[in-house]
Chain A
Amino acid sequence: MSNLNKQAPDNHPTRHFRSLDIEKIRADFPILAQKVNGHELIYFDNAATSQKPLSVIKAVDTYYQSSNSNVHRGAHYLSDQATQQFEQARQKVQAYINAANREEVIWTRGTTEAINLVAQTWGRQNIKADDEIILSSLEHHSNIVPWQMLAEEKKAHIRVINIDADGQLDLSHFESLLCDKTKLVSVGHVSNALGVTNPIQDIIKLAHQQGAKVLIDGAQAMAHSSVDVQQLDCDFYAFSGHKMFAPMGIGVLYGKSELLNSMPPWQGGGEMIEKVSFDKTTFNQIPYKFEAGTPNVSGAIGIATAIDYLAQFNSDDIAAYEQQLLNYATQALLKIEGLVIEGNCPNKVAVISFNIVGCHGQDLGMLLDQQGVALRTGHHCAMPLMQCLGINGTVRVSFSFYNNQQEIDQFVQALIKAKSMLV
């Protein structure tokens, strides 16, 4: 949707897109039409999880009403149906992120599980004592802790890319960290706490020149952009369905097939094996090698349906609209005395993280909740970033294309009221 990656658009010029009629779009998301604490709900917590369009909700419902069955197993009609839909969903994701083949799309529970999978398989196989893993100061705990656990086990080291005062990664610092010992670079595409988009294309190129592999945590990018993993040339890309209008409990690990093939399996169980005996077990091919147990079939169908939903729109229209919301809200917020935006840099998705001098974020959050505004306060699972910025946390609003200017106006009024109650 946005031009996070300057890729050739898949939208053919003659293709007819649904227009960006926000009122009609809002009607696709049933949860938005409700009152909270006596006020119209204003949902500005999209970075935590996005809401789901009716088509996704119905797809999950329909699956359970008419196709539910275990996949790849039973020799019967329903099982065939479920398996077909499940594998079609994989192909849909493959096409959406432009993976070279369907085996490169591994279903996981989400971003967290995808990163842990790489740490526990590729990582345990390839990281040795004194090797280095480069992360950045912006990372979500999900892209820190799995590597710390691995580094501890292997006696390897974590190196951290600095950010500047606006929350932008310091690329020259990154270059200075790269060395013979660097085995992996794992960074976020978009920061969940600040909304800053990282120069991952440059990072991937530089890391590869050093012979290191690159994992991109795409959790926050997928709701705002379409991603082309081949053009990026990343080795792994992880994301969660629930942040891109799909259900919770489903996510994807993309990996280059030669890497996935070389990696040992992780969890053992059904589906991931070829042959089991008490003497020796042989493992299935990718992607199944990494998909032990009964998978989240309805979740996979949900992701495919969310992709269909997004594909109705011209991604450039959505990107432009979201940037408009971001600019409008930024202007309005900066008029509030004492309000400081963290990470106020040009390369951002529609996320604003701020503090108001003399007000605690949690107090603001509670007073805004009373006025129907859903947002997030605190450290946003990025405690090292907060330390780096010298703050305890922020108040974060994160927009989606179903939000509108009227909601921003109401939110700003509610925030002014909250502030007046506290100072």
Chain B
Amino acid sequence: MIQTTEIIETLSFFDCWEDRYRYMIELGKELPAMDNDLKTQDKLVPGCQSRVWIDWKNINGLLHFEVDSDALIVKGLLALVMAAYQDKSANDIIEFDIQNYFEQLDLIKHLSPTRGNGLQAMIGKIQGAARQMLD
């Protein structure tokens, strides 16, 4: 599993939008696909223009996510998000400073959470899962 620090370093290395997006697309392609049977209506994240599925289960006290999207760049975004959240404890997930992470990725310009790409909704769903586990 790729680490957040590695992604930040790689993205900061690129100086043109094409390389950044190519990298995002690569990350998206490398993200393991979700089983089609798992892609049910209740796993869909509302508020995304593309279809985004997020499923999770509790494995030995850590949250394990299965995620997918039919749009590649959005899948790349999911990969960025997974680097921060995959197989972490509910407390770690809630405490992780996602805003700071995205600022470091310098994504705000190009892929800001307001762009209707559903980033906010994805993060909301993941944090919701963590909160649910703590309840």
Q: Would you list which residues of chain B between 81 and 135 have a CB under 8 Å from chain A?
A: 110-111, 117
Q: How far is the CA of A29 from the CA of B71 in the complex (A)?
A: 34
A31 at interface by CB-CB < 8 Å: no
Cβ proximity bits A272-303 to B, threshold 8 Å, 1 near / 0 not: 00000000000000000000000000000000
Partner of B73 from the list A363, A392, A393 (CB cut-off 8 Å) is: A363
Q: How far is the CA of A284 from the CA of B103 in the complex (A)?
A: 57
A78 at interface by CB-CB < 8 Å: no
* A377-B49, A378-B49, A392-B51 known; A421-B71 Cβ under 8 A: no
* A362-B49, A362-B50, A421-B21 known; A370-B110 Cβ under 8 A: yes
Q: Which residues of A contact B71 (CB under 8 A)?
A: 360-363
Q: How far is the CA of A421 from the CA of B111 in the complex (A)?
A: 17
Cβ proximity bits A382-402 to B, threshold 8 Å, 1 near / 0 not: 000000000011000000000
Q: How far is the CA of A370 from the CA of B17 in the complex (A)?
A: 7
Q: Nearest CB to that of A370 among chain B residues? A: B17
User: Chain B binding site: helix, strand, loop or mixed by DSSP?
Assistant: helix
Counting from the closest, the 4 A-B pairs by CB-CB distance are A360-B71, A362-B71, A370-B17, A362-B50
* A362-B74, A366-B73, A370-B17 known; A422-B25 Cβ under 8 A: yes
Interface contacts beyond A360-B71, A370-B18: sample of 15 additional A-B pairs, CB < 8 Å, sorted by A? A37-B17, A360-B50, A360-B70, A360-B72, A360-B74, A362-B50, A362-B73, A362-B74, A363-B25, A367-B73, A370-B21, A370-B110, A377-B49, A378-B49, A421-B21
Q: How far is the CA of A46 from the CA of B34 in the complex (A)?
A: 37
Q: Which residues of A contact B74 (CB under 8 A)?
A: 360, 362-363
B22 at interface by CB-CB < 8 Å: yes
Verify B17–A362 contact, CB threshold 8 A: no
Q: Which residues of A contact B25 (CB under 8 A)?
A: 363, 421-422
Q: Which residues of B contact A422 (CB under 8 A)?
A: 25, 72
Q: Would you list which residues of chain B between 43 and 94 have a CB under 8 Å from chain A?
A: 49-51, 70-74
Size bracket, chain A contacts: 10 to 19
Q: How far is the CA of A37 from the CA of B51 in the complex (A)?
A: 27
Total A-B pairs in contact (CB under 8 Å)? Answer: 39
Q: Which residues of A contact B49 (CB under 8 A)?
A: 362, 377-378, 393
Q: Nearest CB to that of B48 among chain A residues? A: A362
Tell me the minimal C-beta distance from B43 to chain A in angstroms. Answer: 17
Q: Which residues of A contact B111 (CB under 8 A)?
A: 366
Q: How far is the CA of A392 from the CA of B71 in the complex (A)?
A: 12
> Can you pick out 11 interface pairs between chain A and chain B where the beta carbons lie within 8 Å of each other?
A360-B71, A362-B71, A363-B71, A366-B73, A367-B21, A367-B73, A370-B110, A392-B51, A392-B70, A422-B25, A422-B72
Q: Which residues of B contact A393 (CB under 8 A)?
A: 49
Q: Which residues of B contact A362 (CB under 8 A)?
A: 49-50, 71, 73-74, 117
Q: Which residues of A contact B18 (CB under 8 A)?
A: 370, 421
Q: How far is the CA of A309 from the CA of B22 in the complex (A)?
A: 44
Most chain B CB inside 10 Å of its own CB: which residue of A37, A362, A366, A377: A362
Cβ proximity bits B6-34 to A, threshold 8 Å, 1 near / 0 not: 00000000000110011001000000000
Most chain B CB inside 10 Å of its own CB: which residue of A37, A366, A367, A393: A366
Tell me the minimal C-beta distance from A109 to chain B in angstroms. Answer: 23
Tell me the minimal C-beta distance from B28 to chain A in angstroms. Answer: 9
Q: How far is the CA of A343 from the CA of B72 in the complex (A)?
A: 26
Q: How far is the CA of A367 from the CA of B111 in the complex (A)?
A: 11
Q: Which residues of A contact B70 (CB under 8 A)?
A: 360, 392
Tell me the minimal C-beta distance from A301 to chain B in angstroms. Answer: 32
Q: Nearest CB to that of B72 among chain A residues? A: A363
Q: Which residues of B contact A377 (CB under 8 A)?
A: 49
